[in-house]
Chains A and B, each alone.
Chain A
Amino acid sequence: MRTVDVKQIEEAVFRLARRANFSLTDACRAALKSAKEREDGAARFALETVLENEKIAQREELPVCQDTGMCCVLFTVGREVHFEGDLTAAVNEGVRRAYRDDLRKSICDPLTRLNTGDNTPAHIHIELCAGDRVEICLLPKGFGSENMSKIFMLTPAEGRKGIVESIVGTVRLAGSRPCPPVVVGVGIGGSFDGCAYLAKKALTREIGSRHPRADVASIEEEALEKINALGIGPQGFGGRTTALSVACELAPTHIAGLPVAVNIQCHCVRCAKEVL
Chain B
Amino acid sequence: MLDLTLPLTKEQRLLLLAGDCVTLSGTVYTARDCAHRRIFEALDADMVPPFPLEGAFIYYAGPCPVPKGKTSGSVGPTTSARMNVFAPRLLSLGLGGMIGKGEMSEEVARALQRFGAVYFAAIGGAGALYGNAVRSSELVAYPDLLAEGVYRLEIEKFPLVVAMDAHGGNIYRK
Give me the interface of A with B, judged by CB distance under 8 Å: 41-42, 45-46, 49-50, 52-54, 56-57, 60-68, 101-106, 113, 115, 117, 144, 147, 175-179, 235-238, 266-268
Contacts and interface: CB of A to CB of B under 8 A. Distances in A.
Given A42-B21, A102-B64, A115-B145, A49 B159 contact: yes
Interface of B: 19, 21, 33-34, 61-68, 70, 73-76, 78-79, 81, 101-103, 121, 123-129, 131-132, 145-148, 159, 161, 171-172, 174
A175 B75 CA distance: 22
A79 B159 CA distance: 51
A52 B65 contact: no
A275 B142 CA distance: 42
Given A42-B171, A238-B171, A64 B21 contact: no
Contacts of A103: 64-65
Contacts of A144: 78-79, 101-102, 124
B145 A62 contact: no
B161 A66 contact: no
A62 B21 contact: no
A41 to B, nearest CB: 7
B11 to A, nearest CB: 24
Given A42-B19, A53-B128, A101-B65, 5 more contacts: A65-B124, A66-B64, A179-B124, A238-B172, A266-B124
Contact of B74 (A49, A62, A117): A62
Given A101-B65, A104-B73, A177-B81, A49 B123 contact: yes
26 contacts: A50-B125, A50-B126, A56-B132, A57-B129, A60-B128, A60-B132, A62-B70, A62-B128, A63-B127, A64-B128, A65-B126, A65-B127, A66-B74, A66-B131, A67-B62, A101-B65, A102-B65, A102-B67, A117-B146, A176-B103, A178-B79, A235-B102, A235-B161, A236-B102, A237-B121, A267-B125
A236 B103 contact: yes
Contacts of A117: 146
Given A57-B74, A66-B131, A237-B171, A49 B126 contact: yes
Contacts of B101: 144, 176-177, 179, 235
Contacts of B124: 65, 144, 179, 235, 266, 268
Contacts of A235: 101-102, 121, 123-124, 161
